[in-house]
Amino acid sequence: MKKTGIKRRTFGALTAGAVVAAGGATTTRKAHAADKVLKFVQNGNMTILDPIWTTAYVTRTHGYFIYDTLFSMDANNEVKPQMVDKYEVSADKTLWTFTLRDGLEWHDGTPVTSEDCIPSIQRWGKRDPMGLKLMDFVAEFKAIDAKTFTMKLKEPYGLVLESLGKPSSNVPFMMPKKVAETDAFKQIDSQMGSGPFIYVNAESKPGEKHVYVKNAKYKPRAEAPSGLSGGKVVKVDRVEIIEMPDPQQQVNAIIAGEIDLIEQPPHDLIPVMKKEKSLQMVDWNPLGQQFVYRMNHVVPPFNNPKIRQAALLCIEQEEYLKATVGEPQYYKVSSAAFIAGTPNAFEAPDGLFIKPNYEKAKALLKEAGYDGTPIVLMQSTTLPVLTNMAPVTKSQLEKGGFKVDMQSMDWQTVVTRRTKKEPANQGGWNLFHTFTVAADILNPISNSYMVALGEKSWFGWPTDPEIEKLRDSYAKETDPAKAKKLAEAVQNRAIETAQYGWVGQWYGPGAARTAIKGWLKAPVPVMWNIEKA
């Protein structure tokens, strides 16, 4: 960046001219000039501050600033105690006893107790898919003393720790009892947590910035930080989340040194940033994201499993990834539903999702009696990473013998219209795309696209008692080797019934000024451990 000798302030003064006398007009100096302030731009505006009320990722990230969790996932995707000091499981695996570690305090200085944790888990358990599943097994919670509580299960459940250490939306954050008792379908009023940062309500202005200061009383764990677990040591005084919706402006601002970090700049702007010596690209989320291909099971023609299977046979992941992400270093072709490189990763048979088989798709359509009714494909045009998905789908399905009616709309219209169960030609839909953080879909329970409970399933409403039986068995299985086999069976069953499609993994690095060190690798952009030179 070229700089001239004219300073900004001088230019500002010249611009102001004689409007105001310099001495009289100068007001207070920047209040936090001496503090180490980290300015961070998230991937979207944060309007909601309740990470249980919404699954929005920006709100989840806010949750990690101010709340703490009983357990957390480390960099190796293993669940480790966080607020919990120790836990025990009874021999019959139905009674779990948790003891909180010493020194946990809410931001107002009152101690965190069992009485706070129980309603926090219960509120989360009314909203989150893993929480709902866990609650199916819970007979009762009981506070033994201020630091110890028990969770009595009706029968053994294999995912207790995975549930309580769930890394992404919705995260089981611990909140004070009074806050946690808020109706799970209403937004909370308080921003008091026990996490490493304190939310400064007075300085935060939604739409402008959200301000957090270091929680000086926070007692980090002794272990080194790893993923979302370990010692959450805050190395700056203050973090400001700057609301900046325009990606081009984010890049301009980080080049100009006005912000320090961008969560995930669009792929097409990465080459611009790589040329800047003052910037570095940080691969903070090594698990990445996965694109999802969701069909509507309750209206024709995808209410016919053979037609769904024909659609999946048309998928060629690399075409999607090239169209949306571009550079191969930022994507991975993989037919594993539960994310390549993780314990439940299994490649699909016969090159499904990798190599299309249009002839077989056409044969299946003929067999199924497809009458040529156009597939209503909803294209989101406002989320850049999704915009190019639908045209690829249209092209692939047409090669396989489908007729496609691609309808463009903003993302909010997609999320509204996908709730409709009417036939596609009466305001409903047949197919749309979304994406999910990989950490959300690492097993058959947390992966909400695998739920096949009809009305209670995610949009598309598949019904399949067989896959539900497998998911239940997986949930109850406490032997990791057997659980792994069940996960594979779930994936195979989802392929057999063409429940949904997964169309590739992709990675979006963050951008940081070179003065920034210590951005941790985790599924969530966390601000502890970060140093600013």
Binding mask 262-301 for another protein (x = CB under 8 A): ----------------------------------------
Q: Which of 92, 102, 371, 455 binds another protein (CB under 8 A)?
A: 455
Position 45 contacts another protein (CB under 8 A) = yes
Q: Which residue among 440, 464, 468, 488 contacts another protein (CB under 8 A)?
A: 440
Sites for another protein among residues 115-134 (CB under 8 A): 127-129
Do residues 523 and 446 make contact, with C-beta atoms less than 8 angstroms apart? no
User: Per-residue x/- marks for another protein, 392-421, CB under 8 A?
Assistant: -----------------xx-xx-xxxxx--
Out of 76, 248, 303, 329, the only residue in the binding site for another protein (CB under 8 A) is: 248
Quote the least distance from Cβ 211 to another protein, whole Å.
Answer: 13
Please report whether residue 463 would count as binding another protein according to CB under 8 A: no
Residue among 369, 362, 355 at smallest CA distance from 400: 362
Query: The tokens of 384 are what?
Result: 């850049």
Minimum distance between the CB of residue 456 and another protein, rounded to whole angstroms?
6
Burial 164-203 (b: 16+ CB within 10 A, else e): bbbbbbbbbbbbbeebbebebeeebebbbbbbbbbbeeeb
Residues 194, 196, 199, 203, CA torsion sign:
positive
**CA angle (363 as vertex; 361, 366 as ends), nearest 5:** 110
Residues 466 and 496: their CA atoms lie apart, in Å, by: 11
Q: Give how far Cα 186 sits from Cα of 53, 179, 180, Å.
A: 7, 11, 11
The pairing of strands 238-242 and 79-81 is unpaired
Q: What is the closest distance, in whole angstroms, from the C-beta atom of residue 42 to another protein in the complex?
A: 13
Residue 371 makes contact with another protein by CB under 8 A? no
State the nearest-atom distance from the C-beta of 85 to another protein, in Å: 31
Q: Is 424 helix (H, G, I), strand (E, B) or coil?
A: helix
Extended beta strands in 217-368, E state = 238-242, 261-262, 279-282, 289-295, 331-332
In whole angstroms, the minimum distance from the beta carbon of 183 to another protein comes to 8
Binding window for another protein (CB under 8 A); candidates: 54-62, 64-72, 231-239, 384-392:
54-62
Nearer to another protein, 110 or 416 (CB): 416
String of contacts with another protein for each residue 22-41, x by CB under 8 A: ---xxxxxx-----------
How far is the C-alpha of 235 from the C-alpha of 259, rounded, in Å?
A: 17
Q: How far is the CB of 8 from another protein (least distance, A)?
A: 6
Of 45 and 373, which has the nearer Cβ to another protein? 45
Query: Whole-angstrom Cα distance, residue 150 to residue 107?
Result: 25
Q: Can you tell me the distance from the alpha carbon of 176 to that of 111, in angstroms, rounded to the nearest whole number?
A: 10
| Options 459, 474, 506, 507; binder of another protein; rule CB under 8 A | 459
Q: Which is nearer to another protein, 171 or 321 (CB)?
A: 171
Touching another protein, residues 94-113 (CB under 8 A):
none
The answer to whether 442 and 483 are in contact (CB under 8 A) is no
Among the listed ranges 46-54, 115-123, 361-369, 521-529, the one in contact with another protein (CB under 8 A) is: 46-54
Q: Which x/- pattern, by CB under 8 A, does the window 223-242 give for another protein?
A: -------------------x
155 binds another protein, rule: CB under 8 A: no
Q: What's the min distance (Å) between Cβ of 213 and another protein?
A: 18
Find the distance separating the first CA and the last CA of the chain, reported in whole Å. Answer: 20
φ, ψ at 111 (rounded to 5°): -75, 150
Told to check if 529 binds another protein by CB under 8 A, we report no
Pairing of strands 404-409, 375-380: parallel
Which is closer to another protein, CB of 42 or CB of 357?
Answer: 42
The reply on whether position 18 binds another protein by CB under 8 A is no
- Both tokens of 359, joined, read 């002839």
Looking at 142, 154, 366, 456, which residue binds another protein (CB under 8 A)? 456
3-state secondary structure of 372: coil
How many Cβ atoms from other residues are within 10 Å of residue 343's Cβ? 14
> Which residues from 186-215 bind another protein, rule CB under 8 A?
186-187, 189, 205-208
- The residue count for binding another protein (CB under 8 A) is 73
Q: Compute the least distance from the CB of residue 52 to another protein, in Å.
A: 11
